[in-house]
Amino acid sequence: MKIASWNVNSIRARLPRIIDWLQSFEPDIVLLQETKVVDEEFPREPLENLNYKLIFLGQKSYNGVAILSKFSIDEVYFGLPGDTNDVQARYIECLTGGIRVASIYLPNGNPAPGKKYDYKISWMRRLIKRTKILLDKEEPLILGGDYNICPTDQEVYDPEKWVGDALCRPEARSCFRELMHLGLTDAFRAYNPGPGKYSYWDYTGGAWQKDFGLLIDHLLLSPEAADNLTGSGIDRKPRGKEKPSDHTPVWCEINQVH
């Protein structure tokens, strides 16, 4: 079973790229972020025509998350609990194909310090609480998405340049470590250690051509999912195509869970 996560940076603007990739890569479950569309305008039909079932949580022009699956979708959970005033569309969760999955678009947090960074840290605290609850179920779980975190300096093409950025600040990294230490496995890092491996390249300054990237998209697996992990990687091809997202898909393969 192939599971992928991709920040598409506007599902309507990127739809031809998404369709091409779904047809060639053939993932079973896809976690999308930054769809940037209200629910009423989500492009359901082209994706359903590829035999995907869909759930999505959107808002106008910003954020937005979705899950595509070749399997039935049950136990849908919209939004991350813990703050009734938080209306940003950043979290969606379901049970599909024998796995509980969540598509996560963690706040960027810049400029830091400031209110946006405070929101990022409080959102991460809420994610840690939710993850504890999910891990107590002792079932296969994948928390995938754009975490807007470079966990260590090896996920940054130029660490010195990024000191002080919300993606690399010590408080955010500490929250990410706390999340991982609950017992999660980074699917990509399980098979791909070392620096120089990225999932995001800015549109400016020739970042893609120079490979000035960041690794901020992660698939985090519960022990029950990690025990069935058979491979992982980053598919760089979509980033090099015309009118791409600034992110590219990260993926993992696990044995079918029964």
**Cβ distance 213 to 201 under 8 Å?**
yes
Condensed to tens digits (0 to 9), the pLDDT of residues 210-251 reads 999 999 999 999 999 999 999 999 999 999 999 999 999 999
Distance of CA 230 to the CA centre of its chain: 19
Q: What angle do CA 196, 202, 204 make, to 5 degrees?
A: 125
Task: Name the catalytic one among 28, 146, 165, 246.
Answer: 146
Q: Alpha-carbon distance 33 to 132, whole Å?
A: 23
Residue 26's domain comprises: 2-254
Question: Strand 91-96 and strand 185-186: pairing?
Answer: unpaired
Residues 64-93: what's their mean pLDDT? 97
pLDDT number for residue 191: 98
How many domains does the chain contain in total? 1
Q: pLDDT confidence of 258, banded at 50, 70, 90?
A: low
Condensed to tens digits (0 to 9), the pLDDT of residues 16-66 reads 999 999 999 999 999 999 999 999 999 999 999 999 999 999 999 999 999
Q: pLDDT confidence of 73, banded at 50, 70, 90?
A: very high
Instruction: Name the token pair of 102.
Output: 């969540």
Q: Alpha-carbon distance 64 to 54, whole Å?
A: 13
H/E stretch holding 6: strand 2-7
- The pLDDT mean for the chain works out to 97
Task: Name the catalytic one among 91, 105, 147, 157.
Answer: 105
Q: Alpha-carbon distance 57 to 21, whole Å?
A: 22
Confirm whether 105 is a catalytic residue: yes
CATH number at residue 180: 3.60.10.10
**Amino acid, single-letter form, for residue 167:** L
pLDDT number for residue 108: 98
Condensed to tens digits (0 to 9), the pLDDT of residues 128-156 reads 999 999 999 999 999 999 999 999 999 99
Q: Provide the strand spans (E) within 106-228.
A: 141-146, 185-186, 200-201, 213-214, 217-221
Q: Alpha-carbon distance 236 to 250, whole Å?
A: 9
Q: pLDDT confidence of 256, banded at 50, 70, 90?
A: confident
Condensed to tens digits (0 to 9), the pLDDT of residues 168-202 reads 999 999 999 999 999 999 999 999 999 999 999 99
Q: Alpha-carbon distance 133 to 32, whole Å?
A: 23
